[in-house]
Amino acid sequence: MKRIEIYKSKKKSIMLLIISIAFVALGIWLLLEVDNFTGWRAGNPIFTCELGISSILFFGLGIFVGIKRLIKSEIVLIIDSIGLNANPKKSLTEFIKWGDILGFEEIKIQSRRLLIIDVKNPEYWFEKETNSIRKEMMRFNINYYNSPFNIGPSDLNISSYELNKKLNSYLEKYKTYLEQGNSK
C-alpha cells in the first residue's frame, strides 16, 4: 500500500474568509456612517467607531488567516506501511507504529465525529510530549477516551467513513504482516 497524506479541508478556510470579509465591510460601513446612527446605543458615535475599528482589526486578521490557509496546504495525517503520523507538524518521521495501535473507535460529541486511536501504552506518548499545551490535551484525552490521540475528520479533506475505512485496512494489513514477521 502506498503512503497517504491527508490535508486540512479548504471549506472552513473559505467560510472564515467570507465571514471575515463581511465583518470588515460592516466595520468600514459603521465608520463611514457613524453620524447616521442616532438611535443606536444612545446615539454614542464613540461606541460605533470603536465597534467598527474592532470589527476591522479582528476580522482583518481572519482574512489574513483564511488566505494563508487557502494558499498553504496543511498536512494533518500521514498513513503508510510504518504506521500513522497524527502530528506531522511536530515531526514528519514520528509514527505510531501499527503494532502499537489496538484499533480505531468513532464517537460522536454533539454531532461532531471524533476518531479515537486506541494505542497500547498511552502514558508513553504522554511522557514523550514536550509541548505543555499539547500535553494537557493528551491528558484530557487519556482521562476521557483512554487514548492520547483523536482526529476530527470534519476538518479533513476526506470523509469520516473513508478515513475509518483506510485506517482499518492499513491496520489490518500491516499488523497482520508484523505479527507474521515476529512469529517466524
Statement to judge: residues 85 and 175 lie in one domain:
yes
Question: Over pLDDT 90: what percentage of the chain?
Answer: 20
Q: Confirm whether 83 is domain-assigned.
A: yes
Handedness of CA 118, 124, 126, 131 (dihedral sign): negative
Statement to judge: residues 81 and 168 lie in one domain:
yes
Q: What is the pLDDT of residues 115-171, one digit of tens each?
A: 889 988 888 888 888 888 888 988 998 898 888 888 887 778 888 888 889 998 988
pLDDT averaged over every residue in the chain: 84
**Total number of domains constituting the chain:** 2
Statement to judge: residues 66 and 103 lie in one domain:
no
| Domain span holding position 112 | 76-183
Query: What's the confidence (pLDDT) of residue 75?
Result: 86
Query: What's the confidence (pLDDT) of residue 57?
Result: 96
Q: Confirm whether 128 is domain-assigned.
A: yes
Statement to judge: residues 52 and 133 lie in one domain:
no
Q: Confirm whether 3 is domain-assigned.
A: no
Full-model pTM:
0.69
Q: What is the pLDDT of residues 7-41, one digit of tens each?
A: 888 888 899 999 999 999 999 998 888 877 766 55
Q: Are 150 and 141 in contact (CB under 8 A)?
A: yes
Per-residue pLDDT at 108 exceeds 70:
yes
Q: Confirm whether 1 is domain-assigned.
A: no
Statement to judge: residues 14 and 44 lie in one domain:
yes
Statement to judge: residues 45 and 88 lie in one domain:
no
Query: What's the confidence (pLDDT) of residue 55?
Result: 95
Q: Is 93 helix (H, G, I), strand (E, B) or coil?
A: coil
